[in-house]
Chain A
Amino acid sequence: MTRSVKITTPIPTLEEFGDRLGLSEARRKSLGPVFVERRSDGGYVVRRRGTTKSIKVTPTQREAVEHAREISPNGTILIERVRNTDVGSRDRWRKG
């Protein structure tokens, strides 16, 4: 019979996981998914998940997405939804 175990430990956040691996902030900035988020002042920010610093701030979402694709051509890009639509609303994410 196959043995199995129950996992009850919480799933670590990316920040916690990066800490455990001992990755520097600089290394984290080159890894992981890229997020395009709207700022409260209306601009858009590109940042890596798991880092605190933004990579670039742009006036439009299009520019931010273009920059995200530039820095992460094969990686995952998540874009914050800024409109309420049938498939999603604000504070949700879509794939770039």
Chain B
Amino acid sequence: MARDVVKIAQDAVFLNIPYDERFRILYLAYIAGLVHLGLEPRVTLSIPSGKRRLGKISELIESCRYSIHDLSWVGLDRNPPYPTPRFNMPFELGLAVEWQRLNPARYIWFAFEKKSYRLQKSLSDLNGSDPQIHQGTASGVMRELRNIFKRTRNQPTVPEMMSTFHTITRRYPSILARAGATSVFEARIFDDLCYEARGAALSADLLKKSAAPDR
């Protein structure tokens, strides 16, 4: 069956990350950093499980201009029924790599890792494509986002991006409480965090302008 052509959002970034509480800090860092750069992160949280899920994930990737794949989560998932590695993220990276191969002018993917040279072992097919190494820290994520996304005007600094990160880190417990949610990895919470991050970035910008001496 023919598929509808998906409209590409030029500032949308498909964020391929693990939905695990132990990854929460970096998840908030990606949201804060991307939103502060004026970009719009998109995730698979709003896509329900089911037979159409794979198609929806493909459409989500195709609707974005960029994608980020954090492959730093390489351990076993020990939840029942069996301890297994999770293959969803490398699989989605594969979809993105193929999509870029078919559409080199309108799609770019980036891989992120915690440790240098580990990706060469865990996914040696990508040798030749250097991942961004964030060292497992929020400031590392900001630094690497800033390295790959360069605004022609008003490129934010890492401390400015970190200020947005600190705001949403302070705010997320009350966002969860208000929504009656227990995890940040829910579609509604993701939207709220993005909006909160945009507000924090704009406030930081206003305060920066306000601090400039009158001339």
Q: Which residues of A contact B (CB under 8 A)?
A: 1-14, 17-18, 20-23, 27-28, 30-33, 49-50, 73-76, 78, 81, 87-89, 92-95
Inter-subunit contact B199/A6 (CB<8 Å) = no
On chain A, the residues within 8 Å of B214 by CB distance are 89
Give the 6 A-B CB pairs with smallest separation, nearest first.
Answer: A32-B199, A11-B38, A92-B210, A9-B11, A33-B203, A74-B170
> In the complex, how many angstroms separate the beta carbon of B148 from the nearest chain A beta carbon?
5
On chain A, the residues within 8 Å of B195 by CB distance are 14, 17-18, 21, 23, 27-28, 31-32, 50
Q: Does B37 contact A (CB under 8 A)?
A: yes
**Given the complex of chains A and B, what is the CA–CA distance between A67 and B198 in angstroms?**
23
**Given the complex of chains A and B, what is the CA–CA distance between A21 and B193 in angstroms?**
11
**Which residues of chain B from 178 to 204 have any CB-CB distance to chain A below 8 Å in the complex?**
178, 191-192, 194-196, 198-200, 202-203
Given contacts A5-B148, A6-B150, contact A88 B108 (CB under 8 A): no
On chain A, the residues within 8 Å of B171 by CB distance are 74-75
**Given the complex of chains A and B, what is the CA–CA distance between A5 and B65 in angstroms?**
11
**Given the complex of chains A and B, what is the CA–CA distance between A55 and B67 in angstroms?**
38
> In the complex, how many angstroms separate the beta carbon of A26 from the nearest chain B beta carbon?
11
Q: Does B113 contact A (CB under 8 A)?
A: no
On chain B, the residues within 8 Å of A92 by CB distance are 209-210
Inter-subunit contact B207/A95 (CB<8 Å) = yes
Query: Could you tell me the dominant secondary structure of chain B's interface residues?
Result: helix
**Given the complex of chains A and B, what is the CA–CA distance between A40 and B202 in angstroms?**
24
Most buried by A among B148, B170, B191, B203: B203
Inter-subunit contact B40/A49 (CB<8 Å) = no
Inter-subunit contact A7/B39 (CB<8 Å) = yes
Q: Does B79 contact A (CB under 8 A)?
A: no
Given contacts A5-B66, A10-B38, A14-B198, contact A74 B150 (CB under 8 A): no
Instruction: Name B156's closest neighbour in chain A (CB-CB).
Output: A11
**Given the complex of chains A and B, what is the CA–CA distance between A95 and B148 in angstroms?**
31
Instruction: Name B201's closest neighbour in chain A (CB-CB).
Output: A11
> In the complex, how many angstroms separate the beta carbon of B120 from the nearest chain A beta carbon?
16
**Which residues of chain B from 133 to 174 have any CB-CB distance to chain A below 8 Å in the complex?**
147-152, 154, 167, 170-171, 173-174
Most buried by A among B175, B198, B203: B198
Q: Does B2 contact A (CB under 8 A)?
A: no
Inter-subunit contact A3/B108 (CB<8 Å) = yes
**Given the complex of chains A and B, what is the CA–CA distance between A12 and B68 in angstroms?**
21
On chain B, the residues within 8 Å of A6 by CB distance are 150-152
> In the complex, how many angstroms separate the beta carbon of B24 from the nearest chain A beta carbon?
17
